[in-house]
A and B are shown apart, each in its own frame.
Chain A
Amino acid sequence: MKLKLGYNRVLVIGLIMGVAASAAQAFFQVIPPVADGISFLGHPAGLLNWIVNNLFGTDLAITKAFIVYPPLTVIGVFIGSFVAAARNKELRLRPGPVRKKVSAGILGFLVANFGLLWGACPIRTALLVSYGSVLATIALASIVIGVILAGVYMQSSAKRGISQ
């Protein structure tokens, strides 16, 4: 089975994500909080905290929907991506995207902390925007500004590198 959607395939995948996340809330009890059908900060945090709580008897925060069984989005993504990469002969160890391993780890640490400070990954932020949240709209605007600042910073760093 090959996924052939042409230039709009990312748009179609986004649409599927939006509808699937809404369906998870509306019909499969992935609530509260609202618009939490897909999240790559909340769900990894929920899974990690669920494991730590069950192993060490701690009381780390878990959303109501996942108190008994943890969110398994991350596990699903690993399975789906692994299968897709294997089927298309793209599964092999290779460097990148960040080549320095310590830098990659530090960046992951920073993204987790800033993301949790706002409370959502970009995908869930978009889901919250679609749910009509004013706060999420401001947060999405902040993410966009952060992206532009980083882009400008990287471009200026590259120019400095060339001039030197």
Chain B
Amino acid sequence: MIPAVATLVIGILIGYMGQRSTFCTISGIRDLFLRKNTYRFRGLIGIIIGGVIGNAAFQFVGGNVPSFPLGMDIISGGILIASIIGGLGLGFWSVIAEGCPFRQHVMSAEGRVGAMFYLLGFYIGIAYFFMVTVKWLELLLKAVK
């Protein structure tokens, strides 16, 4: 119950702040490289700095922060290739969609119709991934081995 409630509270907090600030990780990167504007990119930097400070501080006071810092966690070449292809596709298609998944959730709650249809496809995509794509990936990885 505790993890579910924690995620709900964090969700409400970041949902409220995200709506007021137009926070978007993908637009931040896009604006930095194409418009030389750092306003939204600071959010991504903030997450990394906040994460480092939070993890270090909470580990110091005895919180549950195992294996921090994680270090080398590439366990196979297949996973590395999947991560690179996945990252490239995630970045590319998110720019075309004009926002990261978080921003699309926020825009949908504001009443943006395009974002609502994006989320419809997004959740169908998640179901498709676990029911179809995963099985193909397993076959592919077996064939590579």
Contact = CB atoms under 8 A, between A and B. Distances in A.
Interface in B38-82: 39-40, 42-55, 57-59, 63-74, 79-80, 82
Contacts of B66: 31, 34
Contacts of B48: 14, 18, 126, 129-130
Interface residues of A, number: 122
Interface residues of B, number: 114
A82 B23 CA distance: 15
Q: Helix, strand, loop or mixed for chain B's interface?
A: helix
A79 B124 CA distance: 22
Interface string A106-142: 1111111111111101110111111111110011111
B10 A154 contact: no
Rank and list the top 4 A-B pairs by shortest CB-CB distance, nearest first: A76-B11, A14-B46, A18-B50, A80-B15
Interface of A: 3, 5, 7-31, 34-35, 37-38, 40-41, 43-45, 48-49, 52, 60-61, 65-66, 68-85, 88, 90-102, 104-119, 121-123, 125-135, 138-151, 153-155
